[in-house]
Amino acid sequence: MSVVVNLDTKRRRDTRPTLDRLNALVVDQLTEVNRVIIDKMDSRVSLIPQLAGHIIAGGGKRLRPMLTLAAARLCGYTGERHIHLAASVEFIHTATLLHDDVVDDSALRRGNATANSLWDNKASVLVGDFLFSRAFQLMVADGSLKVLKILSDAAATIAEGEVLQLMTSNDTETSEAAHLEVIRAKTAILFAAASRIGAVVADRPPVEEEALDAYGLNLGIAFQLIDDMLDYSAAEAELGKSVGDDFRDGKITLPTILAFRRGSEEERVFWRRTLEDGDQEEGDLEQAIALMGRHGALADTVERARHYGAVARDGLAIFPASEEKTILLEVINFCIERAH
């Protein structure tokens, strides 16, 4: 029996940018970060390390802590403070994932069962709270009020972003500006804080802090916009990845905003039925993707991401040429070229 292989799909998979060079740059420090994470998620309450370990070991890229490590290297830092702060960043991120899955009533994350589906919502929320507490303990142990302010402000903004998303959920009248504010608060702010810390621990001038903040913020926006697009991507389906989760949950993302705004009244009736009323039928996801294609919503979402990627690139312009700078610029390509 012969096997037919889609060579175009295989080629896309083989040529997509990766985080391999970033991983290689910080591999030793990342090993130390993982040791701190394992140590600090321990507890005499056995359920805490069981549940926390499930999500922490669930296949995440560790992108945010790697940004802290690479940014510190970019700024010439040779100490160890960034190790514990990178772990703090990852704890904040993991706590928000646990809370997210409860809010969204998600059963799968990264192809694995979510903690709330294996245990329950109460346990997931409380362990998320525990990880937030561990993150703050690591910040306090660092001893810098500046670091504490950056990361605590980020944590507060993320919580605001979660509530903002609740307010726009299932609302097809949501504007692009409102959605971008959700992205900035819920996702991009932690990218910004993770990057900025690298300059803070290296005691670099404010202009470099702000440059790394701008890099991280715009990188985070680009990253999330591509995630928005990938949920409706035929290419992702060809690679065996799940698509349509946002649609099934009634989440308003940039592709749906653009398709709704550009569509006919008949098409808007479709969007209101499927996203606002949650009345979805067989073939509705395919219809949604077709409407997005008709109005260029997916392509324009990628173009928006490219814009924010260019702004992130400009953020690093003040730094001299170095291996670290080159690799951080490659991270922008990784975040955007996942779309192809």
Instruction: Specify if 296 maps to a domain.
Output: yes
Provide the residue range defining the domain that includes 69: 16-337
Would you give the DSSP letter of residue 203? T
Instruction: Specify if 196 maps to a domain.
Output: yes
Give the total number of structural domains in the chain: 1
Q: C-alpha angle 243/246/249, rounded to 5°? A: 120
Q: How many CB atoms lie within 10 A of CB 252?
A: 25
Instruction: Specify if 10 maps to a domain.
Output: no
Instruction: Specify if 7 maps to a domain.
Output: no
Q: Compare 196 and 124 and report the one with higher pLDDT.
A: 196
47-78 pLDDT per residue, tens: 998 888 887 776 678 999 999 999 999 999 99
Instruction: Specify if 139 maps to a domain.
Output: yes
Q: Which two tokens stand for residue 37?
A: 């994470």
CATH code: domain of residue 218: 1.10.600.10
Query: First CA to last CA across the chain, in angstroms?
Result: 31
pLDDT at 2 over 70: no
Backbone angles phi, psi at 25, to 5 degrees: -65, -40
Using CA atoms, how far residue 95 sits from 25, 142, 195, 197, in Å, is 26, 20, 19, 19
Q: Compare 101 and 97 and report the one with higher pLDDT.
A: 97
Instruction: Look at residue 239 in the predicted model and tell me its pLDDT.
Output: 45
Q: C-alpha angle 68/337/302, rounded to 5°? A: 105
Q: Which residues contact 126 (CB under 8 A, 6 or more apart)?
A: none
Residue 166: pLDDT band by 50, 70, 90 thresholds?
Answer: confident
H or E stretch covering 108 = strand 108-109
Q: Which two tokens stand for residue 286?
A: 């395919």
Burial 276-296, CB ≥16 within 10 A → b, else e: eeeebeeebbeebbebbeebe
Instruction: Specify if 11 maps to a domain.
Output: no
Alpha-carbon distance of 230 to 224, in angstroms, equals: 10
Q: Do residues 71 and 63 make contact, with C-beta atoms less than 8 angstroms apart?
A: no
Instruction: Look at residue 117 in the predicted model and tell me its pLDDT.
Output: 79
Instruction: Specify if 6 maps to a domain.
Output: no
Backbone angles phi, psi at 66, to 5 degrees: -65, -30
Residue 145 burial by Cβ neighbours in a 10 Å radius (0-12, 13-18, 19+): exposed
Instruction: Specify if 256 maps to a domain.
Output: yes
Identify which of 125, 106, 192 has the alpha carbon closest to the alpha carbon of residue 157. Answer: 192
214-224 pLDDT per residue, tens: 999 999 999 99
Which three-class secondary structure state does DSSP give residue 239?
Answer: coil
Instruction: Look at residue 1 in the predicted model and tell me its pLDDT.
Output: 32
Residue at 254: amino acid letter:
L
